[in-house]
Amino acid sequence: MLSTLLRRVAYALPIMAGVALVCFALVHLAPGDPLVSILPPDASAELAAQMRTLYGFDRPLPEQFVAWVWRALHGDLGTSIATGRPVASEVLNAVGNTLRLAVLATAIGFVLGSVFGFVAGYFQGSWPDRLASLLSVLGVSVPHYWLGMVMVILFSALTGWLPATGAGPDGSGSWAWDWQHGQYMLLPALTMSVIPMGIIARTVRALVAEILAQEFIVGLRAKGLTDGGVFRHVVKNAAPTALAVMGLQLGYLLGGSILIETVFSWPGTGFLLNSAIFQRDLPLLQGTILVLAMFFVVLNLLVDIVQSLLDPRIARG
């Protein structure tokens, strides 16, 4: 078990280093001077050089990379060029908001997707299967930012039932677990839940169909096990993969929520990325992407480990 664990971690470490390199390269891929957004257009060459030294842009690239990684490992992602605040605290704040949304969306998507998937897999070829298949095709085909707009139109513009944008009655300043604040989460979370729902429904349908076709199911039926008993075995066999997909989807939503957050003006990582891009705030862009990508890698690793704990057959593979 320990060796499996170490092997997974050893496999993830170079990927993390690579991800850091890509994030670092992004800034130097960008055309123009990274300081262009804060330097006044008539800045003297002297001032520009001073700023460059201050931000460390005058050092050789490999040296900059090592210094950047070293600081990042110590929780220092640099200073936002636009706001002058530490990138790490801005990102942490935003990740909290996005995580809240992504967890709710994944939960909704997992519950509904599993139900659809189970029904479809159990009754293959019947109308519930066709309905579930149709819904999951619609789910993976829908442009989710447009779905967000439709949600706003239906539940806010036309009916006025729910607030359309923001994260609370007083903007995004505070959060509390009550209806006053919770209603702001409903539309973005429902919109976001469509992404994992379609994928989980497809996965669970395929899993259930595959499990039901296996010989041990016939064996269980032959020994007189009730449908409920067989169902329990199907769930037990489908659960590790379904949970793994759910974990990956959560990581995916953390990084993939930018478009939905834009529609709902949700103050999460997507919002942060958006402002970083349009203000050309490269340290903020770099830091946000690094944190999100690392989250995704770590989540992948955790899913791998949990999956091999749940299902020893995988660990050997």
292 in contact with another protein (CB under 8 A) = yes
**Of positions 77, 197, 201, 289, contacts another protein by CB under 8 A:** 289
Q: Which of 149, 230, 235, 306 binds another protein (CB under 8 A)?
A: 149
The C-alpha torsion from 106 through 107 and 110 to 115, rounded to 10°, is -150
Shorter beta-carbon distance to another protein: residue 209 or 230: 209
Of 50-58, 82-90, 138-146, 307-315: span binding another protein (CB under 8 A): 138-146
Q: Which member of 186, 274, 307, 311 binds another protein (CB under 8 A)?
A: 274
- CB-based contact 10:31 (threshold 8 Å): no
Near another protein by CB under 8 A: residue from 72, 95, 152, 211: 152
3-state secondary structure the chain: CHHHHHHHHHHHHHHHHHHHHHHHHHHHHCCCCCCCCCCCCCCCHHHHHHHHHHHCCCCCHHHHHHHHHHHHHCCCCCECCCCCCEHHHHHHHHHHHHHHHHHHHHHHHHHHHHHHHHHHHHCCCCHHHHHHHHHHHHHHHCCHHHHHHHHHHHHHHCCCCCCCCCCCCCCCCCCCCCHHHHHHHHHHHHHHHHHHHHHHHHHHHHHHHHHHCCHHHHHHHHCCCCHHHHHHHHHHHHHHHHHHHHHHHHHHHHHHCHHHHHHHCCCCHHHHHHHHHHCCCHHHHHHHHHHHHHHHHHHHHHHHHHHHHHCHHHHHC
128 counts as binding another protein under rule CB under 8 A = no
Residue 295: how many CB atoms within 10 A of its CB?
18
Residue 104 or 151 having the CB closest to another protein: 151
Which residues face 280 on adjacent strands? Answer: none
Q: Which is nearer to another protein, 209 or 225 (CB)?
A: 209
Of 240, 255, 283, 287, which one interacts with another protein (CB under 8 A)? Answer: 255
Task: Please choose, out of 181-189, 213-221, 275-283, 303-311, the segment that lies near another protein by the rule CB under 8 A.
Answer: 275-283
Is the separation of the CB atoms in 49 and 33 below 8 Å?
no
**Residue number with CB closer to another protein (19 or 104):** 19
| Region binding another protein by CB under 8 A among candidate stretches 46-54, 72-80, 141-149, 221-229 | 141-149
Give the type of residue at 51.
Answer: M
Query: Interacting stretch for another protein, rule CB under 8 A, among 54-62, 93-101, 217-225, 251-259?
Result: 251-259
Residue 276, interface with another protein (CB under 8 A)?
yes
Decide if residue 201 touches another protein (CB under 8 A): no
Of the residues 158, 223, 227, 313, which one makes contact with another protein according to CB under 8 A: 158
Site for another protein in 7-36 (CB under 8 A): 14-15, 18-19, 21-23, 26-27, 29-31
Contacting range for another protein; rule: CB under 8 A; set: 67-75, 85-93, 171-179, 247-255 = 247-255
- Per CB under 8 A, residues contacting another protein are 14-15, 18-19, 21-23, 26-27, 29-31, 125-126, 129-130, 133-134, 137-138, 140-147, 149-150, 152-153, 157-158, 251-252, 254-256, 258-259, 262-263, 273-274, 276-278, 282, 285, 289, 292-293, 296-297, 300
